Amino acid sequence: MSTSSSTGVDLVPLGERMRMISAFRAAAVALILGGWQLLPSARGDLPFSTIALVSLGYLAATLLIEAAWRASGRRATWIFGVFAMADGVFLTWASFGQGGLASPLVYLLIGQIVTVSLLASFRTGLKLAIFNAWVLIAAAYLTEAGLVDALGGPPVTFGDDAYWALLVVAGAYVLVALVTTSFAAVNERELRRRRYDLEALARFALELEAVEEPGPIAERLLAGVADIYDCEPSMVLRREGEGLRVLAARGLDDVPANAVLVGDAAAAPVVTKAMADYGTTLVATSARTGDAALAPFGDGANLLITPMRDEHGEVVGALVARHSTRRGSRVERRVVTMVERFVSHASLAIANAYLLVAVRDLAVTDGLTGLPNRRHLDDLLTRSCAQIARGQGTLAIVMVDVDHFKKFNDTHGHQAGDDVLRVVGRTLSDQVRAGDTATRYGGEEFCVVMPGASREDAMQVAERLRVAITEMPIAFDVTASFGVAIGPVHGTEPEVLREAADAALYDAKHGGRNRVAVAPEPGARLREVA
């Protein structure tokens, strides 16, 4: 008799179930002995000494077998089924065998069926009910055939009232098992669903620990609610000023990630109101008219809008998803609750990701000019030089120095000097080619990194930057000198290239400033000045 649950997952450990059934068996023996003393009408022909000897002996034997099983360390789930059948035979003898159908001890068999149905599995409880019924019917036939003596109660003969009453009792066993298992199935199914939800949430939390960017975190959120709760298509919206940006989208081909979906919250009244509410809002089709943020979902029913809040409780966005529930039916509260939990975890992870991005940006960004700083430049040159060292393309670096900057600071003050550096940095960033990077090297010096640039490309860009600096819209006349070095011509190591560019910059400054100089090729005697 199998004791495994229908899903193969034991909600109660086998050892715990054995202890519970042993407790029931001990209570049953106590009721049998107490019933013989208190209910004379329920006694059979056997004396109390025999009843006590058999009952206590059976109890002792089962306890010894259970102790041996525990000492063996084996799981052996079949032992639970064997005990259940043995208990059925014993209780049949102690109840019907002693007092017949009139004995109140017959309820012990019903209690056993309920206990086993709850402790083992629904199938095991039903099997036990059928087994007990057959034991009872078989005992009646054996008694009628004269093979077994009736110990108590009227004799049972095929076709008489006692016989039909016996069949009713046997049917009651099966009915009790069916009712018990049916109600227990509802509870167990709910327990399994809750366990599944918690396990899914735990897996999702672990997945978030491996992701550090806001976009991928939002994608994990959409994948989780789609795979587990069938919420697709969906998207994560991020509030930016008065607009809403798509952080991630799933199942919406016309909605690119990182795109501004609506530029003004007034164009998305339904989403905006839902974001202001504390919990999830279920939106009907008729309520979406005029909301640009919901237009990508078409006419599909059962939209869920769940606000996303940061660690301070401020609304920073929302998950918008369509559940697959058929039109006209409601989304389960369980699904809504779990989606809210998923969103809560993702919201905190996204907030932390943005904080991490901000910290990283501060670590590699110059606070005055907003350009990448020396640390970022060193990392960029290391990666770029590694590529040209492997023969993959060329690299140009341009060192830039603002002319007479110390004198400018002494004359106009450091605040004016800072303003000049900001404008120079912005000019360099605006005028470089796509793919090039303008950085602040330190003080009044800047460095432009140009992957894939040739000597001619670098000279043209440097000359454009020189002219742009002279034409900056500020109240002071500002110029700059430029030194250019090319890899691998002048080297493939960051320090070697920088030294070559510094040497060219030295030539430009000593050649009159406000000009571009290119480092000579190895072996050349003169530096070329443009």
Task: Provide the 3-class DSSP secondary structure of residue 460.
Answer: helix
Q: Which residue would you say has higher pLDDT here, 396 or 143?
A: 396
**Which residue matches tokens 């046997």?**
170
**Which residue matches tokens 């068999």?**
109
Q: What are 486-505's pLDDT values in tens digits?
A: 999 999 999 999 999 999 99
**Which residue matches tokens 């919420």?**
231
**Residue range 271-281: average pLDDT?**
85
CATH number of 374-529: 3.30.70.270
- Which residues lie below 8 Å from residue 193, measured CB to CB, with a gap of 6+? 334
Assign 421 a pLDDT band (cuts: 50, 70, 90).
very high
The two structure tokens encoding residue 246: 């798509």
pLDDT at 422: 95
**Which residue matches tokens 């779990």?**
338
The whole-angstrom separation of Cα 528 and Cα 520 is: 6
Mean per-residue pLDDT of the chain: 84
Q: Which of 97-101, 289-293, 348-352, 420-424 has the highest mean pLDDT?
A: 420-424
CATH 3.30.70.270 domain locations along the chain? 374-529
The whole-angstrom separation of Cα 235 and Cα 219 is: 9
| Phi, psi angles (nearest 5°) of residue 203 | -65, -40
Q: Which residue would you say has higher pLDDT here, 283 or 393?
A: 393
- Which residues lie below 8 Å from residue 253, measured CB to CB, with a gap of 6+? none
Half-sphere exposure of 142 (CA within 13 A, CB side): 12
214-362 architecture in CATH?
Answer: 2-Layer Sandwich (3.30)
**Residue range 437-450: average pLDDT?**
96
- Which residues lie below 8 Å from residue 142, measured CB to CB, with a gap of 6+? 148
pTM for the full model?
A: 0.58
Helix, strand and coil content of the chain, in percent to the nearest 5, comes to: 60, 15, 30
CATH 3.30.450.40 domain locations along the chain? 214-362
Task: Provide the 3-class DSSP secondary structure of residue 522.
Answer: coil
**CA Rg value for the chain:** 42
**Which residue matches tokens 């020189």?**
466
Q: Which residue would you say has higher pLDDT here, 77 or 415?
A: 415
**Residue range 507-529: average pLDDT?**
78
**Residue range 441-463: average pLDDT?**
95
**Which residue matches tokens 């002494």?**
410
- Residue 119, pLDDT above cutoff 50: yes
Assign 530 a pLDDT band (cuts: 50, 70, 90).
very low
Q: Look up residue 365 and give its DSSP letter.
A: B
pLDDT at 8: 39
The whole-angstrom separation of Cα 178 and Cα 200 is: 32
Q: Is 444 a catalytic residue?
A: yes
Burial category of 398 from C-beta neighbours within 10 Å (exposed 0-12, middle 13-18, buried 19 and up): buried
pLDDT at 319: 93
Q: What are 209-240's pLDDT values in tens digits?
A: 888 889 999 999 999 999 888 888 999 999 88
**Which helix (DSSP H) or strand (DSSP E) does residue 441 occupy?**
strand 437-442
**Residue range 83-101: average pLDDT?**
79
Q: What are 129-179's pLDDT values in tens digits?
A: 888 888 888 877 777 776 655 555 566 666 777 778 778 888 888 898 888
The whole-angstrom separation of Cα 419 and Cα 81 is: 87
Contact 449, 436 (CB under 8 A): yes
Task: Provide the 3-class DSSP secondary structure of residue 399.
Answer: strand
Positive or negative, the CA dihedral 462, 463, 466, 472 is negative
- β partners of residue 448: 398, 438
Task: Provide the 3-class DSSP secondary structure of residue 186.
Answer: helix
pLDDT at 4: 45
The whole-angstrom separation of Cα 246 and Cα 69 is: 61
* Catalytic option among 66, 188, 219, 444: 444
Assign 529 a pLDDT band (cuts: 50, 70, 90).
very low
Contact 528, 465 (CB under 8 A): no
Task: Provide the 3-class DSSP secondary structure of residue 298.
Answer: coil
Q: Which residue would you say has higher pLDDT here, 306 or 255?
A: 306
- Residue 72, pLDDT above cutoff 80: no
**Which helix (DSSP H) or strand (DSSP E) does residue 351 occupy?**
helix 333-364
The whole-angstrom separation of Cα 348 and Cα 353 is: 9
**Which residue matches tokens 């050649």?**
511
